[in-house]
Structure 1
């Protein structure tokens, strides 16, 4: 992959990650780097799913592919947020028997 392809993947990942994060209600406790990583993974997975269903190359904007990618990013952001908040909750909230 050329440098322009890497830069494109990062830019698309940022856009997809931010859009996915906006779809998830509430405040997410993940940083921007995790948002970008989730966005890049969602963009790549969404493109593969769209290609498998034959909706990746249409005239104009590929809205279905974008919706798939944003949906995957929202799922990824919500899952990562739940995972990270679950770790925090267990480490800070000990019961009386643990003290």
Structure 2
């Protein structure tokens, strides 16, 4: 892996974070910026994990001259889904929104 691979993973990570959020059912009480940051972190972590454990396939997606391995993308999206889910759970757990608290006690 070269530095440009990690930089591309960060840019691609923004998209990965949004895809992860779409894949999760329900509404996540986290903002777009946090979603993108989680996606970027997941892209770097997924790239590292795929390199570390030699997870590569012969299927590639080419975007603007850069090849993305579909298996690596799958690892990245999986990490992003977990990251977004954890962030959403933490946001709900530490929410101080009175309306949210009212709705929980009402049901």
What's the TM-score, normalizing by structure 1? 0.76
Alignment of 1:1-99 (within 5 A): 8-56=8-56, 58=58, 60-61=60-61, 62-88=69-95, 92=98, 93=101
Indicate the RMSD between aligned Cα atoms, in angstroms. 2.4
Q: Answer 1 or 2: which has greater strand percent.
A: 2
CA contact (8 A) 1:47 1:56 kept: no
Alignment: residue pair count: 90
Q: Unmatched 5+ residue regions in structure 2? A: 62-68, 102-107
Q: Once the 2 structures are TM-superposed, how far is the Cα of residue 55 of structure 1 from its aligned partner? A: 2.4
What's the TM-score, normalizing by structure 2? 0.71
* Counterparts in 2 of 1:25 and 1:59: CA distance versus 1, 3 Å: closer
Question: Which SS does the other structure have where 1:21 is aligned?
Answer: helix
